[in-house]
A and B are shown apart, each in its own frame.
Chain A
Amino acid sequence: MDLTPHPINPTPRPPGELEELKRVWATPKGWRIVTAVNNTVIGLLYIGVAFLFFLMAGVLALLMRTQLAVGNNDFIGQELYNQMFTVHGTTMMFLFAVPAVEALGVMLLPQMLAARDLPFPRLSAFAIWAYVVGGLVFFSTIFYDLAPAGGWFMYPPLTLTEYSPGDNADFWLLGIGFIEISAIAGAVEIVVGTLRTRPPGMSLARMPIFAWSMLIFASMIMFAFPAVILATMMLEIERSFGWPFFTAALGGDALLWQHLFWFFGHPEVYIIFLPAAGLVSMIVPTMAQTPLIGYRLIVVALIATGFFSFGLWVHHMFTTGIPALSLTFFSAASMAVALPSGIQVFSWIATIAAGRERFRITTPSLFVLGFLFIFTVGGLTGVMVAMVPFDFQVHDTYFVVAHFHYVLVGGMVFPLFATFYYWAPMVSKNMLSERLGRWVFWLMFLGFNITFFPMHLTGLLGMPRRVWTYPSELGWDTLNMISTIGAYMLGAGVFLFVFDLVLRFRPGGGGPENPWRAGTLEWLPNDVYSTRSIPFVTSREPIWDQPNIAEDVREGRYFLPNAPTGGRETIVTSPIDARPQYIIQMPGPGWPPLLAAIFTAAFFLLLTIKLVVVAVVCGVIAVAFCLIWTWSLDPGPAKGSVDIGGGISLPTYATGPTSHSWWAMVVLMFVAGSLYLAYVFSYLFLWTVSPEVWAPAGSPALPALGWPATSTFLLLAGAALVVTAGHLLPPAGKFGVAVPLAIFLALACLAGSLAIEIAGHWRTGLSPSANAYGAMVYLGVFLFGQLAFTLVIMGLFTIARHAAGKLDRERRVTFDNLALLYHYTVVQSLLGLALIHGFPRLVG
């Protein structure tokens, strides 16, 4: 059926429709607010906590600047200073920057896409609570001398048990590893939300730039974070069980950590920057009252930056002894990435210059202009350090500290403050003060430059990073004192912002409507249900180009002006052209995500302090809550099709590649695949470093080929059983014993394959702690075991749903997810068998 670009529903709408929408989407009151899953509520919590971490890490920065104000200072001792710079960097990168932009995604994306919510609201809630609990516990370690002290990048061998005894480093490894999982959960939500919950008509070519940047941000998380998750896993295993991945004497290599860490760490900079650039691309056109100049070029720049950022990691390792030619590959890529960044800067300047009105100088505009200046300076020093000879000179000096603060604070913090001022009216009854805002900006802008510009000079004068004090006679005192004064000025700006926030920020509706005269959908009239009806979009700035759209949306003249299923729902559209496909039924508030997050955090944190039994109990409880939560999903097709307005009827259930659930599982498989590729890289890297410990010459001979052949047979048999179970699913209301039996046998095949793989190596006498080869072999088994464990839980869950009459030929999303992950596991395991059993035979 054809969709018209004009309002499609007759008005006035039937009485009671709006009240039902309000009832369905109502935010829980009182202390039950913690069970809320609405994106505006948890998004606000998310950004509030991220900002709290910014403040706390900022206080640490001020303390460190106080220590460095003069030479030979003893205000802070060396050990505490080491902990402070580690917690400052870690908090800013992992607990503030990434969560803050992810929070903005959760809060703004549904509004910009006129969706009622993101497709997995409980997953968002889980991710956020996990981050809140885990983050607060991690930060608190600074108060009782348990904080890590190895720098935010935790390089071994310094962080191995020999040089970092105690639990301090473990708090970093398990705490941050856990928070990365939370970030990945958010990324799944954002990828699926951006591609599948856009309003009808909003094809990719009409998507707001912020949505593009969040899509690329989330995709980058999918490929970057697994590398550091694997690295943290390896380092924690080495610290706890002595598997020597990073110990040179046993064939390991500390440089492997650097490769894995920076394969994550450099894209991380762009993971932080791209959403901020997306925000700027939304603010600039509004302030210039003109469409963004070079929309296509900006999309190109975002994609290119995202891609190229994965080819730069070695530029953090220029001084590690890698051959010169290798360095130049990465030097070239580091300079090439400046091109797309430059494209964006020139597009913003062109938009400002070409404005239909003179560019309005408001507080958000000031922060945007401040960002342009600071980020450009940071970009220029970035090109300087991309040159190998220059980097050799300034490596590990304060020049680098100045450079990355210019990039990160300029590239992310200033746009974030612009965002606070710009989007506050969307979630608050009052706007923030323009008058105070200008004071905040100038204090922050001047304070920032007074702090960090002198650091370029301090670095060129030779002051190394991470020193807790320095002798006065080296001539660094004056520059350091200036930096410290600037830091307090910057702090005063942030304090004034907090004061303004306390004074004027009042969450809730009723604020001014579209005060900046913006053109994008988040400025449509909003309530707890997002927009009253979901518009048909015909341009990139619908509010500018579609007269009366706000009024039509408010009156319910567009799609889904009601709650036809009686619950929470939104329209799912096709990923490229945004054609309506089906109605997604979404869960409402509930305790399970919160409790699952608390117990998951407890599992990781208790494991850190070696309370293994209690940790395992918490882990079991966390899994139980996850199962309770997922039990209420997969509502089935019982509600049939519903009318969404304009004579269009959409199904309320979808399976297979159309389903949002299928998409989430595919995204998760990309994450798992990325982690496994990082493992394959690590295996081959350590072989190039220490071929002498590899089997058969340096380790026990490999198991006979019968062992991997049996494993392979079991894996393939399991996959065949899963396919068979899919064909045997009975019609609704019937129970077929063949399905549970096939799933159970498939799980048994998987467990058998895993057991054979372990036994095969164990019988040869190979020990994981003997050398790096043994460690890598058993790590491969461990990764297989993780997936097998997950599949066993999912398999038993699937059987239980079938037994409860909640899974059949039509209602099969749970089974489809199990099948997808099972087949993925089979492919990964077959690759693993080829690598572990084939590669040493090939090269030996």
Chain B
Amino acid sequence: MKAGNDAGPLTGGIFYLLIGPVIWAAHLLLVYGPQSALCAFRADGMTAVAPFVITALVGVLTVISMAALALVLWRPRQVARLLRFKAAAETDRRFAISVMRLLTVLSFAGVTWAGAVALFLDPCAQLR
């Protein structure tokens, strides 16, 4: 070990570790925001978007997110290179890859869980 700087930039390292949860958060934002806004506009009579369009939107965004997460799981080294993540020691590199992968698996479960309900529910139905 030498005195000096890290092997790679910190932002790349942080983003590499968190890429799964970031995709999960983006998915939640992108399905919840447009879905709730479109439902509000439908209720106000401002738009006549058909319900199946909203369902399809949620479905498409979910599939894209799942594909992105699967890609990250499949090619962790390429993602590391893309984000310029480097670790000085092999143990640290293995640690980062396994943490990133496990977080991605959890995020995959979260995205699938949230997105799957669009198949079963009317997108704008109220429960009361």
Contact = CB atoms under 8 A, between A and B. Distances in A.
B74 interface: no
Contacts of A304: 21, 103, 106-107
A71 interface: no
B6 A332 contact: no
Nearest to B54: A325
Contact of A329 (B2, B10, B88, B117): B117
A200 interface: yes
B110 interface: yes
A557 to B, nearest CB: 18
Interface stretch (B63-71, B76-84, B118-126): B118-126
Q: Is the interface of A mostly helix, strand, loop or mixed?
A: helix
B87 to A, nearest CB: 7
Interface size range on A against B: 35 or more
A769 B114 CA distance: 40
A323 B117 contact: no
A262 to B, nearest CB: 14
A54 B113 CA distance: 39
A332 B24 contact: no
Contacts of A579: 1-6, 88
Contacts of B58: 325
B52 interface: no
A318 to B, nearest CB: 8
Given A205-B91, A300-B106, A324-B125, A576 B113 contact: no
Contact of B40 (A195, A200, A339, A689): A689
A575 B6 contact: yes
A758 interface: no
Interface string B37-58: 1011100101000000010001
Contacts of A308: 21, 24, 106, 110
A20 interface: no
A168 B31 CA distance: 40
> Quick one: which of B41, B103, B127 has the most chain A CB within 10 A?
B127
Interface string B12-36: 0100011001001100100110011
A305 B46 CA distance: 38
A300 B102 contact: yes
Given A577-B88, A577-B92, A650-B3, A324 B106 contact: no
Given A308-B110, A325-B118, A325-B125, A688 B41 contact: yes
Q: Is the interface of B mostly helix, strand, loop or mixed?
A: helix
Contacts of A713: none
Nearest to A314: B32
A577 B6 contact: yes
A512 to B, nearest CB: 34
Interface in A289-307: 296-297, 299-300, 303-304, 307
B3 A1 contact: yes
A296 to B, nearest CB: 5
Nearest to A308: B110
Interface string B95-106: 110110011001
A570 to B, nearest CB: 15
A723 B128 CA distance: 58
A573 to B, nearest CB: 9
Interface in A193-220: 195, 200-201, 203-205
Given A205-B95, A323-B123, A332-B110, A575 B32 contact: no
A577 B87 contact: yes
A223 B107 CA distance: 20
B109 interface: yes
A323 B91 CA distance: 47
Contact of B24 (A3, A311, A688): A311
B106 A336 contact: yes
Nearest to B95: A205
A310 interface: yes
B10 A296 contact: no
Given A325-B125, A326-B35, A577-B6, A3 B1 contact: yes
A65 B91 CA distance: 54
A197 B47 CA distance: 55
A321 interface: yes
Contacts of A195: 10
Interface in A310-324: 310-311, 321-324
A303 B17 contact: yes
B117 A2 contact: no
Nearest to B100: A300
B10 A575 contact: yes
A581 B3 contact: yes
A303 B18 contact: yes
Contacts of B21: 303-304, 307-308
A340 interface: yes
Contacts of B121: 324-325, 328
A333 B114 contact: yes
Contacts of A335: 113
A838 interface: no
A329 B28 contact: yes
B5 to A, nearest CB: 6
Interface in A728-754: none
Contacts of A307: 18, 21, 24-25, 103
Nearest to B106: A304
A327 B120 CA distance: 13
A2 B2 contact: yes
Given A205-B95, A311-B25, A300 B3 contact: no
Given A327-B127, A339-B106, A579-B6, A322 B1 contact: no
A753 B96 CA distance: 45
B28 A311 contact: yes
> Quick one: which of B37, B92, B106 has the most chain A CB within 10 A?
B106
Given A311-B25, A324-B125, A388-B127, A576 B13 contact: yes
Contact of B36 (A297, A300, A326, A575): A326
A296 B17 CA distance: 12
Contacts of B98: 296
Given A323-B35, A326-B32, A576 B103 contact: no
A323 B3 contact: no
A599 to B, nearest CB: 36
A332 B99 contact: no
Contact of A328 (B37, B44, B92, B117): B117
Nearest to B5: A574
Given A3-B3, A296-B102, A297-B102, 5 more contacts: A3-B1, A308-B110, A321-B126, A325-B125, A688-B41
Q: Can you list the 10 inter-chain pairs with the closest CB atoms, starting with the nearest?
A: A307-B21, A205-B95, A332-B113, A328-B117, A332-B114, A300-B102, A576-B6, A574-B6, A336-B110, A580-B3
10 contacts: A3-B3, A205-B92, A296-B98, A304-B106, A308-B110, A325-B58, A325-B117, A333-B28, A577-B6, A581-B5
